[in-house]
Amino acid sequence: MPKVKVATIWFSGCSGCHMSFLDLDERLVELAQKVDIVYSPVVDIKEFPDGVELTLVEGAVGNSDHREMLLEIRKKTKLLVAFGDCAVTGNVPSMRNPLPREEVLRSVYGEGEIPGLEEGEVPKLLPQALPLSMVVPVDGFIHGCPPPADRIWRFLQRLLSGESPTLVGEDLRFG
Amino acid sequence: MIHLEIDGRAITARPGQTILEAAEGAGIRIPTLCHLKGLSPWGSCRICLVEIANWNGRLVPACATQVQEGMRVVATSPRLTELRRRVLELLFAERNHICAICVSSGHCELQDLACELGMEVVRVPYRFPGLALDASHGKFVYDPNRCVLCGRCVRACSEVEGAMTWGFSGRGIHTTVEPDLGGPWGSAETCTECGKCLEACPVGALVERGKATAEQEKEPQLLAQLTERRPRA
């Protein structure tokens, strides 16, 4: 049986969801028999490939790069999954949303030239950090900050066995 | 006795009981948020909506509707789950509910409802309002970012404590709860520091000072225990 092409990516978040993914521990070996990780912060591939079956997106959409990348991923991926609370709700990155973008950047960088204020070497910070579903259609959701490894495993197992991966009950707990 | 039907089951209830009380008596679960035993029925949050089949499917809040002879109540259906979930999504979108950093995470009725009602994602845009936290009180903190405007603090303060410190201010989307007609809680002269508002609050809007993430547990059942010991005003 051909392996399922899986990608993961990390936007405006803390990488905690990816750490939790690695917490699958020995289950990663079982997973590796069924899937190929074709793009991810944990593998060294620069271009997002075509024909990806599943992409787990960690983090909110916080800057112009995230936005462009998400639109590209949506075109190249069959199932796009919001991976963790930041991707599902905006979560901690969205705490800046009530404040003006420039004020946020100035409080971090002080006076003078501010990276991210305009498009440059550093991508432009969007006015608000948004959940993925406010930018593109999303096919699945894994709640949690970070999602516990067992929850990620339940989601992946259902998906790989061809069932609807929709989580229920306690697996829908935020935070 | 009044005879009615809830989810196809024949039920008897006392006159004056609400649909919610009749359902609870029969072991039928109806989710609630603004309702709290010991406080007057409110009917504002719409989480407990049920359908009355022989009133042309009309939707009523179970917590604030009295039972009537021959009523056929639908308390569980895909339509109701979808409606309740929509209401919940609006509540999540209205303020800044960030469970990951909330002192009430793991002990929060709003978070519990998201699990119970199967809320995968909020389908309306979040408002991200800019609301100032009030930490002026020596014992408690009020964070309006987490408030769901259920009014349980307002009712606990007026109906059980009799202090009437908490009240609503503003209209519609601008509604907030405020101590002593606005101004910092720390200088509210009517506040007796009893903490009933905090125990009644279903979320992390009213909390004890010094609690860290997920540390704030509450005992909302205290309000009923207090009121059952004395006649209600």
Instruction: Quick: pLDDT tens for B93-126.
Output: 999 999 999 999 999 999 999 999 999 999 999 9
Is the pLDDT at A1 greater than 80? The verdict is no
Q: Which residues of B touch A128 (CB under 8 A)?
A: 128
Residue A23 falls inside a structural domain: yes
Averaged pLDDT score across all residues of chain A: 96
Instruction: Quick: pLDDT tens for B222-232.
Output: 999 999 887 65
Q: Do B126 and A174 touch (CB under 8 A)?
A: no
Residue intervals in chain B for CATH 3.10.20.740: 2-76
Residue-level pLDDT at B77: 97
Smallest CA-to-CA distance from B49 within B67, B31, B37 is with: B31
Does the domain made of B83-223 have the CATH classification 3.40.50.10540?
no
Is the pLDDT at B233 greater than 60? The verdict is no
Residue A38 falls inside a structural domain: yes
Residue-level pLDDT at B232: 55
Q: Compare all CA atoms of chain A with the CA of B124 and give the residue at the minimum distance.
A: A134
Q: Compare all CA atoms of chain B with the CA of A94 and give the residue at the minimum distance.
A: B128
- For residue B122, give how far its alpha carbon lies from the nearest alpha carbon of chain A (Å): 7
For chain A, count helices (H), then strands (E).
6, 7
Q: Any idea what DSSP says for residue B48?
A: T
Instruction: Quick: pLDDT tens for B167-186.
Output: 999 999 999 999 999 989 99
Residue-level pLDDT at A173: 97
Instruction: Quick: pLDDT tens for B192-217.
Output: 999 999 999 999 999 999 999 999 99
User: Which structural domain range is residue A39 located in?
Assistant: 4-95+128-172
Residue A101 falls inside a structural domain: no
Chain B CB within 8 Å of residue A109 CB: no
Instruction: Quick: pLDDT tens for A92-108.
Output: 999 999 999 999 999 99
By Cβ distance, the residue of A94, A145, A170 closest to B115 is A170
Decide if A23 contacts A15 (C-beta within 8 A): no
Instruction: Quick: pLDDT tens for A134-157.
Output: 999 999 999 999 999 999 999 999
Residue-level pLDDT at A74: 98
Is the pLDDT at A57 greater than 80? The verdict is yes
Chain B CB within 8 Å of residue A137 CB: no
Decide if B199 contacts B207 (C-beta within 8 A): no
Is the pLDDT at A37 greater than 70? The verdict is yes
Residue intervals in chain B for CATH 3.30.70.20: 83-223
Q: Which residues of B touch A145 (CB under 8 A)?
A: 99-100
Count Cα atoms within 13 angstroms, Cβ side, for A154. 15
Beta bridge partners of B5: B10, B72
Q: How far apart are CA A92 and CA A97, in angstroms?
A: 10
Residue-level pLDDT at A91: 98
Q: Do B96 and A170 touch (CB under 8 A)?
A: no
Helix (H) or strand (E) holding B23: helix B19-25
- For residue B17, give how far its alpha carbon lies from the nearest alpha carbon of chain A (Å): 30
- Residues whose CB falls within 8 Å of the CB of residue A102, separated by 6 or more in sequence, listed in order: A114, A117
Would you list the DSSP string of A101-157?
HHHHHHHHH-SS--TTSSSSSSPPEEEEEE-GGGTS---EEE-SSSPPHHHHHHHHH
Residue A112 falls inside a structural domain: no
What is the dotted CATH code of the domain comprising B2-76? 3.10.20.740
Which of 76-105 (B) contact A at CB < 8 A? 92, 96-102, 105
Chain A CB within 8 Å of residue B8 CB: no
Residue A123 falls inside a structural domain: no
Provide the number of structural domains found in chain A: 1
Averaged pLDDT score across all residues of chain B: 96
Which of 49-88 (A) contact B at CB < 8 A? 82, 85, 88
Chain A CB within 8 Å of residue B173 CB: no
By Cβ distance, the residue of B98, B119, B129 closest to A92 is B98
Size of interface A-B (CB pairs under 8 A): 78
Residue-level pLDDT at A111: 87
By Cβ distance, the residue of A133, A141, A175 closest to B99 is A175
- For residue A45, give how far its alpha carbon lies from the nearest alpha carbon of chain B (Å): 31
Residue A120 falls inside a structural domain: no
By Cβ distance, the residue of B100, B126, B131 closest to A85 is B100
Q: Compare all CA atoms of chain B with the CA of A172 and give the residue at the minimum distance.
A: B115
By Cβ distance, the residue of A97, A138, A172 closest to B128 is A97
Q: Compare all CA atoms of chain B with the CA of A137 and give the residue at the minimum distance.
A: B123
Residue A107 falls inside a structural domain: no
Instruction: Quick: pLDDT tens for B117-170.
Output: 999 999 999 999 999 999 999 999 999 999 999 999 999 999 999 999 999 999
By Cβ distance, the residue of A98, A134, A169 closest to B125 is A134
Residue A109 falls inside a structural domain: no
Q: How far apart are CA B150 and CA B191, in angstroms?
A: 20
Q: Do B126 and A97 touch (CB under 8 A)?
A: yes
By Cβ distance, the residue of A99, A128, A141 closest to B120 is A141
- Mean pLDDT along residues B80-88: 98
